[in-house]
Amino acid sequence: MRPYYLDPYTREFTARIVEAVPKDSGVALLLDESYFYPTSGGQEHDEGAIDGIPVTDVYEDNGQVYHFVERKPSNEVVACTIDWTRRFGNMQQHTGQHMLSAAFDTLFDVQTVSSRLGDYAGSIDLSRTPTESEIQEAVGAVNSVIEEDRPISVHFADQNDITKFNLRKPPKVDGTVRIVEVKGFDMSACGGTHCTHTSEVGTVITGNVERVKGALTRIEFYCGGRARRRYYELLSAARDASRLLSSGINDLPLAAARAVSQLQERDARLKALSERILEQLCEKLAAEIGRANPEMTVTDLSTLVQSTEELKFAASGVARKHVGSFIFYRVEQSTCFMNLNLQSDEGRATLLLNELRSVFGAKGGGRNGFYSLTFVAEQLPGVIESIKRSLSHA
């Protein structure tokens, strides 16, 4: 039997190395006895040190517990230390998970289908979405049980005895089953490390609630010191936001809503204003093209328009004035965006577009004499040359 099944508190012990197997860039040690918890049942493995050499992984292989270290200790009998902050955090988180699942089950008949116990946040997947007030009630019930400092005990039962225990879920293992009982609150089959009194869990809080596949609802939770850490993370985020919005923390939702609506108003005003400027630009460009009256006008709008949308807006505005064939383009970094208005028949335009695609790698298209193209900027002189040649044969 694993020693931590009955004693989850021993964090320093002496053991003898039974086997040292080279693995990856280090060694996996098998000890004659170990209180280290291997990754299993959703609980993270312990960390710590063996003769001062850091233990970075603990895992099960064929029923044995292996401790991964970067090199084999020189002694055969070694001093082992478990990182207690990590282990105790895992115990709090694991015990809190049992109680939270029990609360949803008992109060609202909502079952926990699966759970995860990370090294910071944990989560449970529930069979249906609880309401916000149900979540608060479940969390309240768990924290009451924590305050009552109820004992948590461990039982072992074989398959014949198992029916004597009122388990929340049927066990996943055959043979002897380890049962963790929170007095008067929960009875679960589990091989993990737990606290022995509910008060040690400290507190349980929940976080994000999200729908996950299989029509389940995932609720994030934090226990003990991790709950305090989470609280200060959220407080710091709220303080940053309240500084930015010059508002008290309680007024944040209102201040954020006001800021968003001001932004939307400004966006709309800006859009109307830039459309007016673009329309004036269209007038000016159309007049210039009309005065020059060449076969084809080529205008670089890189400094006059800010985006491909504005380029297209200017080109279609000028095209509506029927001034003749023109090219408007804009170069951004190494890409050229081009809008093309061609006074030629559709068949010739199709030939031209095919040529631009195959020879210059241009992408895009259009119809009725109006086309949008994108290509590598260094192809620009060649593209303009091809378009002019196509027009002169029209």
Q: Which stretch binds Zn ion (CB under 5 A): 84-92, 185-193, 322-330, 354-362?
A: 185-193
Q: Which stretch binds Zn ion (CB under 5 A): 16-24, 94-102, 256-264, 275-283?
A: 94-102
CB of 93 to Zn ion, least distance (A): 10
CA distance 362 to 373: 6
CB of 44 to Zn ion, least distance (A): 13
CB of 209 to Zn ion, least distance (A): 22
CB of 144 to Zn ion, least distance (A): 20
Q: Which amino acid is at 327?
A: I
Would you say 90 or 341 has its CB closer to Zn ion? 90
CB of 191 to Zn ion, least distance (A): 7
Q: Determine, following the binding rule CB under 5 A, whether residue 190 of this chain makes contact with Zn ion.
A: yes
Would you say 171 or 192 has its CB closer to Zn ion? 192
Would you say 72 or 94 has its CB closer to Zn ion? 94
Would you say 104 or 326 has its CB closer to Zn ion? 104
Tokens of 102: 């029990």
CA distance 279 to 154: 79
CB of 117 to Zn ion, least distance (A): 8
Size of the site for Zn ion (CB under 5 A): 3
Strand partners, 154: 180
- Which residue's beta carbon is nearest to the bound Zn ion? 190
CB of 188 to Zn ion, least distance (A): 6
List the interface residues with Zn ion, window 213-232 (CB under 5 A). Answer: none
Q: Determine, following the binding rule CB under 5 A, whether residue 192 of this chain makes contact with Zn ion.
A: yes
Strands 77-82 and 12-23: antiparallel
Strand partners, 69: 27
Q: Determine, following the binding rule CB under 5 A, whether residue 48 of this chain makes contact with Zn ion.
A: no
Would you say 177 or 380 has its CB closer to Zn ion? 177
Q: Determine, following the binding rule CB under 5 A, whether residue 50 of this chain makes contact with Zn ion.
A: no
CB atoms within 10 A of CB 42: 15
Would you say 100 or 190 has its CB closer to Zn ion? 190
Q: Determine, following the binding rule CB under 5 A, whether residue 89 of this chain makes contact with Zn ion.
A: no
Q: Please answer whether residues 152 and 195 qualify as being in contact, where contact means their C-beta atoms are separated by less than 8 angstroms.
A: yes
Tokens of 168: 């929340």
Helix/strand/coil (H/E/C) assignment for every residue in 301-366: CCCCCCCHHHHHHHHHHHHCCCCCCEEEEEEECCEEEEEEECCCCHHHHHHHHHHHHHHHCCEEEE
Q: Please answer whether residues 35 and 23 qualify as being in contact, where contact means their C-beta atoms are separated by less than 8 angstroms.
A: no
CB of 98 to Zn ion, least distance (A): 5
Q: Which stretch binds Zn ion (CB under 5 A): 92-100, 221-229, 264-272, 324-332?
A: 92-100
List the interface residues with Zn ion, window 308-367 (CB under 5 A). Answer: none
Q: Which stretch binds Zn ion (CB under 5 A): 81-89, 90-98, 148-156, 287-295?
A: 90-98
Q: Which stretch binds Zn ion (CB under 5 A): 91-99, 285-293, 333-341, 356-364?
A: 91-99
Let me know if 341 is exposed, middle or buried by CB neighbors in 10 A (0-12, 13-18, 19+): buried
CB of 59 to Zn ion, least distance (A): 18
CB of 76 to Zn ion, least distance (A): 34
Radius of gyration of the chain (CA): 35
Q: Which stretch binds Zn ion (CB under 5 A): 93-101, 131-139, 229-237, 319-327?
A: 93-101
Backbone conformation region of residue 68, classed left if phi is above 0, alpha if psi is from -120 to 50, else beta: beta
Would you say 115 or 325 has its CB closer to Zn ion? 115
Contacts to Zn ion by CB under 5 A: 94, 190, 192
